[in-house]
Amino acid sequence: MPGFFPDQSSNQALGVDADDAVDVALMLETARGNESAFRQLIERHQHAVIGTVARMLNDAHEAEDIAQQVFVRLWNSAPKWRPEAKFTTYLYTIMRNLVFNESRRRSRKKEISLDEQEENHPAAMRADGGLSPDEGMEKRELHRSIDAAIAALPEQQRLAVVLRTFEGLDYDDIAKALDTSVSSVKSLLFRARGVLREALSGNLQR
C-alpha cells in the first residue's frame, strides 16, 4: 500500500524508533478499520505478549487466551488511541491490566489443580533440542524453578522482571507500562533480583 508506512530514514534522522513508527502507522490504520493492518500488529507482537503472559501466570496454555483478549481490547480501543507514547507501552499496559486481574482472580479462587499447573507450565512447553534425557530433565527443572520463583514475586516486581529480562525493555518503557517512575522500577528490580537469587541459589549450586 503506497504511503502506508512512514519513511524510516527520516524517522532515524529525527531520532524516532523505526519499529515504533511502523507500529504507529499500523495502529492508525487499525483505527480506521483496516483489518490487514491489525493482523500485521498481531503478527509483530503476539509472540512477546504470549510469552510475557505465560511467565506472569506460570501457565502457557492460559497465555494464549489472555493474549487474545489483549488484542481484542487493542482493536476495540484503536479509534480512541493517540500516539502519545510508544505503541508497545500501550500494548503492555492493556496486557498488564488483564494479567493482574487474572492473577488476582486465581489467588481468590485457587481453582487450578497441581496436575494442570504441571501440564500447563511454561517449562513443559519448551523444546529440549538435542539434549539427552537427563540433560533435558535437568534443563526443564531449572526452567520450572526459575518460572516458579518469578511467579512467586509480587505483581509489580514480576512484570518488571519479565519485561526487562525477557523482552529487553528499558527502564523508561517499563515505568510507563507499570504507570510508575523509573526510580521505582529500579527499586522493584533490585528487590526482585535479590529474592530470585535466594530462591534459585540451590539450583545454581548444583
Domain positions in the chain are 8-204
Q: What angle do CA 188, 191, 195 make, to 5 degrees?
A: 130
Position 161, amino acid: V
Specify the fold of 8-204.
Rna Polymerase Sigma Factor; Chain: A (1.10.1740)
Is pLDDT above 60 for 11? Answer: no
Cα separation, 97 vs 167, whole angstroms:
18
> What are the tens digits of pLDDT across the range 67-112?
999 999 999 999 999 998 899 999 999 999 999 999 888 877 654 4
Amino acid at 59: D
Output the pLDDT for position 2.
42
Distance CA 140, CA 203 (A): 12
User: Does the pLDDT of residue 12 top 50, yes or no?
Assistant: no
pLDDT average, residue stretch 179-186: 96
**Amino acid letter, residue 83:** P
CA nearest 85: which of 76, 75, 94?
Answer: 94
- Confidence label for 15 from pLDDT (cuts 50, 70 and 90): very low
Separation CA 196–CA 1 (nearest Å):
48
Q: Which DSSP symbol is given to 157?
A: H
- Cell for 1? 500500500
pTM (two decimals)? 0.74
The mean pLDDT of 171-193, rounded to a whole number, is 95
- Which pLDDT score is estimated for 73? 98
d(CA 45, CA 23): 10
